[in-house]
Chains A and B, each alone.
Chain A
């Protein structure tokens, strides 16, 4: 079987990885690079728990072969914190108890990051629309919405 070497930027660092042709970005992150924040949920594009940013766009890493992101920039939850501190989204999720089991949290935060990067002061409705593809099976949606609003406030200060 062929392997392909794929070079891309991962959380600001140039990364090269040899993988089999259809290895997904999610599998590469979790199993090859041991970055386990990105979660393996439904593997069908239906739950949003594997959401990462590719060139700033929210993307379902379970459906995207790594070989297709040659030269592109990937941001995962691990890439949000700076100098050991939490990102305001992470702080807000923590302070607002926006995680119950926590499995959807990385996907929620990355989807919210994509929103806040282009709309610094979203309405509640805009937040709902941005997170509509992310399922929380604990159904803890309200604190999640509040956390994103809180993070927007923290980021604008």
Chain B
């Protein structure tokens, strides 16, 4: 073991100060369920490690129109946030109870796909990421910034602000087992239907379908302003299949992931709209 120091900052300010001083040499643990396996495996030899366990970032506040979830709130607690059904459902499907008491919502944003199951429901719920220093980013922009190697990857995430959903939302995960399973793919949808029966807004988010969780914007366009029926759900599923950029790994091939994106987007939309096509 090459680690010389394990820092346990008592505040976000202290954590930011350590990150500034040590830069990319510092490995950050929130729950430790991503980095510790790599360290145990010998895939990573950090000299300095910082744990956020005592940094006081685990608050969870439910307000009238949103829920603010501290970066180190664990998935066991996220699974109990009834105000955000698709997020709670996604948290419940990650690992087992012991893993969920350790894994955190903030850490989940840094998980490499196919891990990081909370990304899709957070995108569907239009979550914002709060960074130390006060910068606030739409989650989609956070992922884009990280992918481009710019700032968001090196800043401390302090909390997520998640609007309480209006309309219908659904989370569906396709795994190789029923429980404790890594995603083949996952789909989260949030659909609002106006008084005239047309779709006034739709967000469709895909997990394990690209290098980070993504919105399926062309699929969403199929729904907006239209009276959704089975045909439109199928058309949206086609679009999602076309715009996802899946990968091949030990869990599934890119071909299979794309197929399942089609199946699960259609199922998720039908479930939200309570349409039972051909049944």
Interface residues of A (CB under 8 A from B): 1-2, 4, 20-24, 43-46, 48, 51, 57-60, 62-65, 67-68, 111, 114-115, 128-134
Asked if residues A2 and B4 are in contact (CB atoms below 8 Å), the reply is yes
B97 in contact with A114 (CB, 8 Å): yes
Q: Which residues of A contact B6 (CB under 8 A)?
A: 4, 21-22, 65, 67-68
1/0 per residue, CB under 8 A from A, across B34-61: the answer is 0011011100000001010110000000
Q: Is the CB of A64 within 8 A of B102?
A: yes
Known contacts A60-B99, A63-B32; 6 additional CB pairs below 8 A are A44-B37, A45-B33, A45-B95, A57-B101, A67-B6, A134-B96
Residues 1-51 of B contacting A (Cβ, < 8 Å):
1, 3-6, 8, 31-33, 36-37, 39-41, 49, 51
List of A residues within 8 angstroms of B8 by Cβ? 67-68
> Is B51 a contact partner of A59 (Cβ separation < 8 A)?
no
What's the tally of chain B residues with a CB closer than 8 Å to chain A? Answer: 28
Chain B residues within 8 Å of A, Cβ to Cβ: 1, 3-6, 8, 31-33, 36-37, 39-41, 49, 51, 53-54, 76, 95-99, 101-102, 179-180
In the complex, A44 Cα to B32 Cα: how many Å? 10
B269 to chain A, nearest CB (A): 28
Contact of A131 among B5, B53, B96 (CB under 8 A): B96
Pairwise interchain contact A133-B95, C-beta atoms closer than 8 A: yes
Min C-beta distance of A114 to chain B, whole Å: 7
**Nearest Cβ distance between residue B92 and chain A, in whole angstroms?**
8
**Which of A22, A43, A131 gathers most chain B CB within 10 Å?**
A22
Taking a contact as CB atoms under 8 Å apart, the answer to whether A68 and B53 are in contact is yes
The winner among B31, B49, B97 for most chain A CB atoms within 10 A is B97
Which are the 6 A-B pairs with shortest beta-carbon distances?
A133-B96, A58-B98, A132-B179, A21-B6, A63-B36, A43-B40
- Hey, which chain B residues are within 8 Å of A129, CB to CB? 97, 179
A2 to B4, CA, bound (A): 6
How far apart sit A82 and B221, CA to CA, in the bound complex (Å)?
64
| Chain A residue at minimum C-beta to C-beta distance from B76 | A57
Contact present for B179 and A23 (CB under 8 Å): no
Q: How far is the CA of A8 from the CA of B51 in the complex (A)?
A: 18
What's the Cα separation between A58 and B103 when bound, in Å?
A: 12
Q: Which A residues are CB-close (under 8 A) to B5?
A: 2, 21
